[in-house]
A and B are shown apart, each in its own frame.
Chain A
Amino acid sequence: MRYMDYLKTEKFPLFWCAGCGNGTVLGAIVRAFEELELTRENTVVVTGIGCWGKADDYVTTNSFHGTHGRALAFGTGIKLANPDLDVVVLMGDGDGVTIGGNHFIHAARRNVDLTAIVVNNFNYGMTGGQYSATTPETRITSTSRLGHIEQGFDICRLAEAAGAPFVARATPHGPVQMKNLIKEGIRKKGFAMIEVLSPCPTHYGKSNRLGGAPEMLKWFDEHSVSVEKARRMAPEELQGKIVVGKMVDREAEDYGTKYRRIQQAAQERERRGA
């Protein structure tokens, strides 16, 4: 299948605002699907709620659109019930690490073989640009007009600390890198989390005078530092920088593989009449 075959082009134009990064992420996802030769029948795209939660409107694979923040829990059930499926869970920063933060850390810890793609635009776009758990301190949003006073999550560090065996970050300024990281994440046997920073010129960009989409993309580019380079930099040098690339890629047996051993042991026990 070509990447366009994974898209419901009849639904175009995309619902998202001009300059939003979501279209670029969706493009990277379907290109990754093409390169991995995923089938529509065997793939399930699970979405949350919010701007990025509309992504399932445009895919031709199986899909599930549920509630705000719970996408990983729905995905966990789908994957554990049928381990042969490729389950790709799409969440925003609200879904992923704010209302759904508990599911996020436990999905990472549990290491179910899911691919989570968290598009982080630092605010709640759909409801009018309120602050989320990733909004950096001092930033202006529609509910922090005088400057945000909470610290924002670093989603990648959160995933790593929770035990995710694959953690990466990309920005729409590097769509090929993004596609490659998504591809690796889908291929990874275990919980893979790819954070994609995305410009929201309509709300976050406007409130913080970051300019339009081109300026925001340029800002991502200018502030991006590769994982390799970041390892050689001092913490103070990394202040205000965006580390992009693959932070974590380690071997860790996934939940489903371990659980199959539990099933075998339980069945053996049953046969012995224990």
Chain B
Amino acid sequence: MKRDGEVVFTLGNDAITAGAIAAGARFYAGYPITPSSEVAELSSIRLPAVGGVYVQMEDELGSIAAIIGASLAGKKAYTATSGPGFSLMQENLGVAVMGEVPCVIINVQRSGPSTGLATKPAQGDLMQAKWGTHGDHGIIVLSPSSVQECYDLMILAFNFSEKYRTPVVFLADENVGHMRERYVRWAVTPADIVDRKAPSGDPERYRPYDFEGESDGIAPLACYGSPYVFRINGSGHDESGAPCGRPDNADKFIRHYEDKFLKNIDDITRVNSFGMDDAEYAIITFGCSTRAAKAAMKQARAKEIRVGVVQIVTLWPFPEAVVSSVGERVKGIVVPELNLGQLRGEVRKCVSSDIPVVGVNKVDSRIIFPDEVLKGLEEVVR
């Protein structure tokens, strides 16, 4: 997105907050945790100034519950946290999945497990973002690698959450959240913003989960206080929201929680490619590690290794087709990430077993440096 706007030099968490408010978010509930706290602090200042609400809850269980409630009362809503808080949020993340409630959960990742190395950078919550809440379901997860992307992708996160009636996890990391750099705070226009599809017709006939008759496969969502009286249910339910234990109904809805993303994967997928046109090797990565990957690419090309970088922005649903096609074009793949191989495993599933997929993995609280990526790449090239 190259758009004119105010040039700002600031940290990622500031741009995340600015992006949320630009996207139309007017409600924040959260519990402070480093390295995400700036999102809470800035939201507490900026939201009331635009008529929004900031509320600090007693814990992260309550924080995500409050944003789900606020969303249903008609406000675009978000929360920000880090590993320990994200673990607590898994319970009600499931409510947002099953209730199909738009909301955005920002996880500025830090080292784990448990309290971990507070608060060093890590990218260890990639799998948790998809699988942390129990039961089968799909979800959208976006991951920024720069301050500009913090702003741009927050707007996209809200748009996706509204369009697909889903929680969206914004998977940042300590490095990106606390890094200061320049970004363009472009002014949004109504054309940039997606609002949830509202019901129309006879309110007596409104059924909040009747997705089958919809051309986009997403049921319209009313808000509390409108003429459309409705029921949201985190238990297994039918089209009206009434509890329903019929096997055919359960099958239909549980598949729907994943299918609605898979059917729209082309719309949801965001992947940034750098130098891939003539690449014989690929570095596939996400988030802060993208930066080291791009620097390593330059160093490698100076050594006449033809390598490109593929930054996975939409981590879930995982862009399998994109990664498969990369695998068909290259001789080897390096996957740098601040965990022990969570992305590498997904990449491995998508490419031929003849192609080496080598991880560059760090969990020592430090970011990955370009020469470490280069070293991994040279192993593949040999």
User: B-contacting residues of A (Cβ < 8 Å)?
Assistant: 40-42, 44, 46, 56-57, 60-67, 69-70, 72-82, 84-85, 102-103, 105-106, 255, 259, 262-263, 265-267, 269-270
Contact = CB atoms under 8 A, between A and B. Distances in A.
A69 B61 CA distance: 10
Interface residues of B, number: 48
Contacts of A79: 69, 73
A66 B68 contact: yes
A68 to B, nearest CB: 9
Given A74-B68, A80-B27, A269-B49, A66 B92 contact: yes
B105 interface: no
Contacts of B55: 76-77, 80, 255
Contact of B61 (A40, A42, A70): A70
Interface in B201-257: 223-227, 229-235, 241-243
Given A56-B231, A64-B232, A103-B58, A74 B225 contact: no
B377 interface: no
Contacts of A67: 65, 91-92, 94-95, 234
B29 interface: yes
Contacts of A262: 48
A165 B382 CA distance: 73
A85 B70 CA distance: 12
A80 B53 contact: yes
B61 A64 contact: no
Nearest to B45: A266
6 contacts: A67-B92, A76-B62, A77-B70, A79-B73, A263-B52, A267-B48
Contacts of A267: 48-49, 51
B21 to A, nearest CB: 12
Given A56-B231, A84-B225, A266-B48, 18 more contacts: A65-B233, A66-B68, A73-B58, A74-B66, A74-B68, A77-B27, A77-B69, A77-B71, A77-B73, A78-B69, A81-B74, A82-B223, A85-B225, A103-B61, A106-B57, A259-B48, A267-B49, A270-B49
B343 interface: no
Contacts of B347: none
Contacts of B71: 77, 81
A82 to B, nearest CB: 4
Given A66-B95, A84-B225, A106 B62 contact: yes
Nearest to A49: B235
Given A266-B48, A267-B49, A267-B51, A80 B66 contact: yes
B371 to A, nearest CB: 47
B77 interface: yes
A237 to B, nearest CB: 37
Contact of A76 (B69, B225, B234): B69
B266 interface: no
Which 6 pairs from chain A and chain B are nearest by CB?
Answer: A77-B69, A77-B66, A73-B65, A73-B62, A81-B73, A81-B70
